[in-house]
Chain A
Amino acid sequence: GQQLNQSPQSMFIQEGEDVSMNCTSSSIFNTWLWYKQEPGEGPVLLIALYKAGELTSNGRLTAQFGITRKDSFLNISASIPSDVGIYFCAGFSYNNNDMRFGAGTRLTVKP
């Protein structure tokens, strides 16, 4: 089945630093999404991307849908302590009509 490779697995950064994480796949996706999950909760949608090359921002978050449709990245600028959590990329394919998730990037922000 389709596999999403998300990296890095974890990040330990200082408050104020910028963060970058990405997802790659051997398959094409029609939609790329980025979610954040905090302890004891389900994932919450941060950004959705629908077109190859699309660059979308949501506050300090910026994500891009790769031109090849096989990758996406998420950047967080000027990190703050509440950015702590696990970030998941997800890809949706019309062929399979389901959403596949990356393994997640665990972000720790030191004040």
Chain B
Amino acid sequence: KAGVTQTPRYLIKTRGQQVTLSCSPISGHRSVSWYQQTPGQGLQFLFEYFSETQRNKGNFPGRFSGRQFSNSRSEMNVSTLELGDSALYLCASSLAGGNGYGYTFGSGTRLTVV
């Protein structure tokens, strides 16, 4: 069974640009959560999507947005990139979200903003 696939693995962008990251969950999983990981802040929750609807959102500015498609694949978008957006972005999929059981993480997309 294929795991959670995140693309691209690495990305370099310039300040002010926008970026779109993709996450393909495990087949059958309907919940996708996104996290930002930085050395200073650890893993910070961005948002969760379930059945194409954003079910929960963390404390990030509106420049961070996401969506989920009917096949459960999810994308997150960051507009007007800032240097501080440099981080490892992780997505986690699960059957239905809920109590945290069965969250499987992808390997992440490492974004560098220069």
Determine if B33 and A98 form an interchain contact, defined as CB atoms under 8 angstroms apart: yes
Contact B99 A100 (CB under 8 A): no
Total number of B residues with any Cβ neighbor in A under 8 Å: 26
Number of A-B contacts (CB under 8 A): 59
Contacts of A75 in B (CB 8 A): none
Residues 77-113 of chain B, each 1 if its beta carbon lies under 8 Å from chain A, else 0: 0000000000000101000011111111111100000
Residues of A within 8 A of B (CB): 1, 30-31, 33, 35, 40-45, 48, 50, 88, 90, 92, 94, 96-104
Q: A40-B107, A98-B48, A98-B58 are in contact. Are A50 and B42 (CB under 8 A)?
A: no
Contacts of B108 in A (CB 8 A): 41-42
Partner of B106 from A42, A45, A96, A97 at Cβ < 8 Å: A42
A68 vs B109: C-alpha distance in the bound complex, in angstroms? 37
Within 8 A of A (CB), among B36-92: 42-45, 48, 55-56, 58-59, 90, 92
CB pair A30–B45 under 8 Å, yes or no, is no
Bound CA span A35–B55, Å: 23
| Additional pairs, 4, CB under 8 Å, beyond known A45-B103, A90-B100 | A42-B105, A42-B108, A97-B48, A97-B55
List of B residues within 8 angstroms of A44 by Cβ: 105
List 7 interface pairs A-B (beta carbons < 8 Å), by A numbering. A31-B99, A31-B101, A40-B107, A44-B105, A50-B101, A98-B58, A99-B33
